[in-house]
């Protein structure tokens, strides 16, 4: 059997789970009474909001930094690690690096909300604000790697990152072995790709559904084109789903094409309504990217009657100001 071109295997996901054990949370999977009744299904919520950094990104970042230390020794990272991020990955790298005794510098675009910047700085990392897009922030990352000898911890496009996120899929099937479908926010593809690889590796019949923004969705446009393309970033309630996938993408584009069964885009209004619903009925404050699974169920009228379905609540990195914007939009 040929090895996958993307480098993510079920074995690498199990290895990642072993590596990150004790460093990240094994998050709860809870049944939503409200959503189960609403959709005549068994609807479960995977609470990655319970991670110490408030989002799933901690899994991949911890796995990669720990793996590099295992492979090359701690001294190999003495000059520090760096990345560009829309917020959650930067916070995850800062947290994981601090836990593992490695300095970190996080490059962020000007579009990243101030609350996420403050959260990263509070973890002891150095923050640099560069440009109006993640691609521009990555130009500074490239300079830090080339000129200052730092080590890149990419937000998504690496087998170690995707394998770390894939540990979520293992937990899903341990808690609910008979799942029929999982709805996952899709941007760079590390989350969906990793979870999808785990699910398909154990139960190939599970339906993996990707959810992207209605505008500025690089993975959506790239899949339509058949190769990675650039898109213009736009402000969104689902800002964590913004950013490009990289024209030289070497992992997640192929991985997503392999494991994803269907794909939907959701509007800002649908995201806003979903954020408000989740707070009102589940008492959970989530960011827009975490609410896109529910947004897709409603906006596209997806028929899940009689199925066991999981939604990935990927993070809670939302300011009260942003949530208030969502609430006002939902009232229209």
Please give the positions annotated as active site.
57, 314
| 104/96 Cα distance (integer angstroms) | 9
| 323/288 Cα distance (integer angstroms) | 9
CA dihedral 171, 175, 180, 184 (to 10 degrees): -40
Tally of helices (H runs) and strands (E runs) in the chain: 13, 10
The answer to whether the Cα torsion of 43, 44, 48, 51 is positive or negative is positive
Residues near 219 by beta carbon (within 8 Å), at least 6 away in sequence: 186, 187, 188, 189, 210, 212, 245, 253, 256
Whole-angstrom CA distances from 242 to 137, 185, 201, 213, 214 are 13, 11, 28, 8, 11
E strands present in 216-285 = 262-266
């Amino acid at each position: 059997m040929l090895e996958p071109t993307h480098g993510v295997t079920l074995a690498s996901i199990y290895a990642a789970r072993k590596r990150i054990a004790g460093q990240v949370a094994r998050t709860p999977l809870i049944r939503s009474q409200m959503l189960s009744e609403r959709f005549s299904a068994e609807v479960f919520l995977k609470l990655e909001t319970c991670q110490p950094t408030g989002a799933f990104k901690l899994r991949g970042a911890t796995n990669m930094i720990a793996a590099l230390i295992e492979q090359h020794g701690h001294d190999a990272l003495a000059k520090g690690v760096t990345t560009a991020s829309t917020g959650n990955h930067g916070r995850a790298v800062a947290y994981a690096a601090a836990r593992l005794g490695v300095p970190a510098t996080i490059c962020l675009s000007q579009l990243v909300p101030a609350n996420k910047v403050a959260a990263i700085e509070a973890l002891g990392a150095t923050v640099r604000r560069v440009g109006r897009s993640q691609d521009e922030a990555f130009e500074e990352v490239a300079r830090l790697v080339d000129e200052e000898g730092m080590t890149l911890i990419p937000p998504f496009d690496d087998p170690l990152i995707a394998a770390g996120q894939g540990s979520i899929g293992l937990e899903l099937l341990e808690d609910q072995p008979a799942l029929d479908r999982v709805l996952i926010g899709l941007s760079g593809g590390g989350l969906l790709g990793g979870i999808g690889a785990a699910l398909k590796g154990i139960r190939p019949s599970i339906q993996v559904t990707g959810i992207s923004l209605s505008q500025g969705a690089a993975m959506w446009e790239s899949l339509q084109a058949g190769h990675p393309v650039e898109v213009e970033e736009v402000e969104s309630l689902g800002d964590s789903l913004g950013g490009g996938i990289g024209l030289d993408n070497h992992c997640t584009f192929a991985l997503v094409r392999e494991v994803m069964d269907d794909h939907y885009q959701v509007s800002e209004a649908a995201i806003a309504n979903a954020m408000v619903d989740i707070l009102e009925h589940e008492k959970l404050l989530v960011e827009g990217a975490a609410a896109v699974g529910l947004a897709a169920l409603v906006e596209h009228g997806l028929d899940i009657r009689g199925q066991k379905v999981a939604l990935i609540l990927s993070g809670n990195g939302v300011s009260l100001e942003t949530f208030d914007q969502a609430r006002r939009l939902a009232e229209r």
